[in-house]
Chain A
Amino acid sequence: MRYIEPHGHMVSRTTDDYEAMTLAGCRAVCEPAFWAGYDRSGPEGFYDYFCQLTDYEPKRAAKFGLPHFTWLCINPKESEDTTLAAEVISLIPKFLDRPNVLGIGEIGLNKNTRNELQVLEQHIDLAARHDQLILVHTPHLEDKFKGTRLILDALRADSRIKPERCIIDHVEEHTIQMVLDAGFWAGITLYPESKTTPPRAVDMFEVYGGQRVWLNSACDWGRSDPLAVPKTAIEMRRRGHSEETIDKLVFQNPIRFLGQNPRFTVR
């Protein structure tokens, strides 16, 4: 089996996880910027984090033969402070020419507030001005449905944004249809408790198809599983899906989306 982990917060994971992922067939890992579990005290903290994502973490992954890519932003959980957000967004262009940067992400909404929406629109503008791919985080649990609708409205309101260059992540059964109908890519995130389990992910693949869908573990500092994608591939085998079908979903589809950025050369 070969697969790509298109969404993993590897700064929160151990070197053992890198080794296990490599042994399971991982060929590349992509790391969106996210919340550290606490609020950073200022823009300098984000500057250091962006250095970590673009310099140190690729070297750590390389020790296990894994190409490491990243996405940059201020996470929606810290977007309520619009002054801080503006300062952080102003830092991002300096990092966009780093060789492992794929785009702007994971942007989006958390509690669906006015300030979060304002910062989301600033990120969308940043991506459009710099012709960047976009990776979107949709809110958790009870906030997901409303937040997904607001996010799609914000993206569609900017005529410079091409849906095929945006992936809306963490879709579930009540949001995947609206994402695909609007022409965007959909990310299915595999978590032990929230988001989606492997059987539900395969259900969605069977019901909605896999044309513009990827799977990811979004492994981070919380309860999560860096091997969730290969475990879901095993779930597909149990249901009788062919190796070709599995390969398309867990390897070829991420390449189709990420390969829109010429820096992503994994094949």
Chain B
Amino acid sequence: MTRQSILDLYFMDARSKLIDIAAFLDRVDRGEGEPDFRLAAFRKALEELQHNEPVRAKSVLMSLSDPTTEPIPKAPGKGAIGAWPGPETH
């Protein structure tokens, strides 16, 4: 596909999601209290969008992933929350 065709197909959808992210960050700023580690992880992942190579989706996913290699002793629960809290939680 040409870049023009991709813009024609996806620009409005991406624009909408971009504004949703901006509004989400505004909403968090207007909120009260201290945020947990997820906000910092989200902001760090956003930095991955600034790179010029077409591997941004992979980079964002990696930024939010547990980079360790060993199984953990015990499950802290069943669910995942979308960002790695760091080694201290294990």
A and B from one complex: yes
B-binding residues in A (CB < 8 A) = 35, 77, 80, 110-117, 139-146, 149-150, 172-174, 199-200, 203, 238-240
Query: Given A35, A77, A116, A142, which contacts B71 in the complex, CB threshold below 8 Å?
Result: A116
A150 lies within 8 A of B80 (CB): no
25 contacts between A and B (CB under 8 A): A77-B78, A80-B74, A110-B75, A111-B72, A111-B80, A112-B66, A113-B71, A115-B74, A115-B75, A116-B71, A116-B75, A117-B71, A142-B64, A142-B65, A142-B83, A143-B66, A145-B67, A146-B65, A146-B67, A173-B57, A173-B61, A174-B62, A199-B13, A238-B9, A239-B9
* Residues of chain B lying within 8 A (CB to CB) of residue A113: 71-75
A137 to B23, CA, bound (A): 34
Prevailing SS type, chain A contact patch: helix
A174 lies within 8 A of B65 (CB): yes
- The chain B residue with its CB closest to the CB of A111 is B75
* Residues of chain A lying within 8 A (CB to CB) of residue B73: 113-114
- The chain A residue with its CB closest to the CB of B62 is A174
Q: Given A144-B65, A145-B65, A239-B1, verify A199-B10 contact (CB < 8 Å).
A: yes
A-B contact count (CB 8 A): 80
* Residues of chain A lying within 8 A (CB to CB) of residue B15: none
- Smallest Cβ distance from A35 to chain B, in angstroms? 8
Tell yes or no: B84 within 8 A of A by CB.
Answer: yes
- B1-19: which residues lie under 8 A (CB-CB) from chain A? 1, 9-10, 13
Q: Given A77-B78, A140-B80, verify A145-B71 contact (CB < 8 Å).
A: no
Beyond A35-B78, A142-B64, 10 additional contacts (C-beta under 8 Å) are: A77-B78, A111-B72, A112-B72, A114-B71, A114-B73, A115-B75, A141-B82, A141-B83, A142-B65, A173-B58
> Nearest 6 A-B pairs (CB), nearest first?
A141-B80, A140-B80, A145-B65, A111-B75, A174-B61, A173-B58
A114 to B67, CA, bound (A): 17
Q: Given A80-B75, A113-B73, verify A145-B10 contact (CB < 8 Å).
A: no
